[in-house]
Amino acid sequence: MAGVHELSRTDARRIAVRAQLLTKERPTGLLETVQQLSLLQLDPTRAIAPSAELVVWSRLGSAYSLHELWDVVDEQRLIELRGTLRVAEDIGLYRAEMAEWPGTSDVRGWKQLQRDWVAVNNACRRDLLERLRTDGPLPARELPDTCVKPWASSGWNNNRNVTMMLDFLVQRGEVAVAGGTGRDRLWDLASRVYTDVPPVPTEEALRLRDERRLGALGIARSRGPECPVEPLDVGEAGEPAVVEGVRGQWHVDPAHGRRIRVRLRPRDVQAGCPAAVGLLRPPDPVRRPAGREARRPADRKAGVFTVGAVHGDVPFTKAMAVAVDREIGDLARWLDLEFVLPD
């Protein structure tokens, strides 16, 4: 097929691993790492540590200091948006869409319900904005709930009026997270957080977002299922590709596609040593969708990091086993815990 990359499965895996900064040559800077990954997904589970921090550590290793990520968030060099952390300059790719919320086409279904709820509670919306304008940034617990129609839900958001209103005001581009994490996050007017980040017109922004996503994934489908946090497809970005034995049309990032012929150094292959060892857990971009961990291997009260078992998809050579143990030990030291191997 002329003009189409013909890739083996091994080639496709190499492209994805390289794009996700999981090669032997580690990156060195936090912001540069997030810039390449395009986002860090926030997840409430922390069987080991907050998921966003684990994603960063798996790329930077000991060069990353525990909790450094949240210092950068407080400095607003990384900004929370839609359950993710992104470099500040990327927010411009979403601002035009925010101004059009809930969309320029005929709004129906769930989006219509959201729009109508905000309209009914417009006085509450104005109260929140005025309180933030006067006293912000503030945590959500210090913001008034003056909604005349409660948010109705069969889930845990039922009657969580301030939480839902803040979420919609973020989507409208009126409010933004100004720092902090979890329940302690701070909210402020978006105009005071998105400073020096001009909006990019919607059509161009969508194209650039596809390109950013493909650059982070290396290879992706041109069309895919809808995802709640970030799409897994990339439209027309990059160059078309087919993967041997895998159905469907793929697109590859040209910058990564040109380097697929790079191989392991001969001495590494002969020694049975992997080019790199990385510890990943959902929702790492390489391991989606996110799963749930039943046990907490990081026991801070006892001061230990326990690994119940290590299973290999392929038989480990001695060099592989040593490399895996070393990486787990490095993680334990990063957490300031004692590493306990399985019996």
Which DSSP string corresponds to 48-101? Answer: SS-HHHHHHHHHHGGGSPTTHHHHHHHTTSEEEETTEEEEGGGGHHHHHHHHTT
In this prediction the pTM is: 0.86
> Looking at residue 27, what DSSP letter applies?
-
Domains of the chain: 93-193 (1.10.10.10), 266-340 (no CATH)
Run of H or E including 9 = helix 9-19
Q: How many residues does the chain have?
A: 343
The whole-number pLDDT of residue 60 equals 94
Question: For residue 289, is the peptide bond before it cis, meaning its omega torsion is within 30 degrees of 0?
Answer: yes
Question: For residue 144, is the peptide bond before it cis, meaning its omega torsion is within 30 degrees of 0?
Answer: no
Question: For residue 139, is the peptide bond before it cis, meaning its omega torsion is within 30 degrees of 0?
Answer: no
The whole-number pLDDT of residue 118 equals 97
The whole-number pLDDT of residue 260 equals 60
> Looking at residue 233, what DSSP letter applies?
B
The whole-number pLDDT of residue 291 equals 40
The torsion angles phi and psi of 86, rounded to 5 degrees, stand at: -135, 155
Nearest to 147 by CA among 170, 171, 168: 168
171 within 8 A of 98, measured Cβ to Cβ: yes
d(CA 135, CA 190): 14
* β-strand pairing of 338-340 with 304-306: parallel
The neighbouring-strand residues paired with 7 are: 243
Sign of CA dihedral 41, 83, 201, 92: negative
236 within 8 A of 222, measured Cβ to Cβ: yes
Q: Which residues 6+ apart lie within 8 Å of 139 measured at CB? A: 180, 183, 184, 185, 186, 187
* Helix%, strand%, coil% for the chain, nearest 5: 40, 15, 45
Nearest to 222 by CA among 240, 202, 244: 240
137 within 8 A of 188, measured Cβ to Cβ: yes
Please return the burial class of 148, using the count of CB atoms within 10 Å of its CB with bins 0-12, 13-18 and 19+: exposed
Using the structure block, give the residue that is written with the tokens 């550590």. Answer: 57
174 within 8 A of 129, measured Cβ to Cβ: yes
Local mean pLDDT, 10-residue blocks, the chain (343 residues): 81 92 89 96 81 93 90 95 95 95 80 94 98 96 96 81 96 95 91 93 96 96 84 93 92 79 40 60 63 56 81 84 87 87 63
- Residue 307 corresponds to which amino acid? V
Using the structure block, give the residue that is written with the tokens 């794009």. Answer: 19
The torsion angles phi and psi of 60, rounded to 5 degrees, stand at: -90, -25
The whole-number pLDDT of residue 300 equals 76
The neighbouring-strand residues paired with 299 are: 304
d(CA 151, CA 147): 9
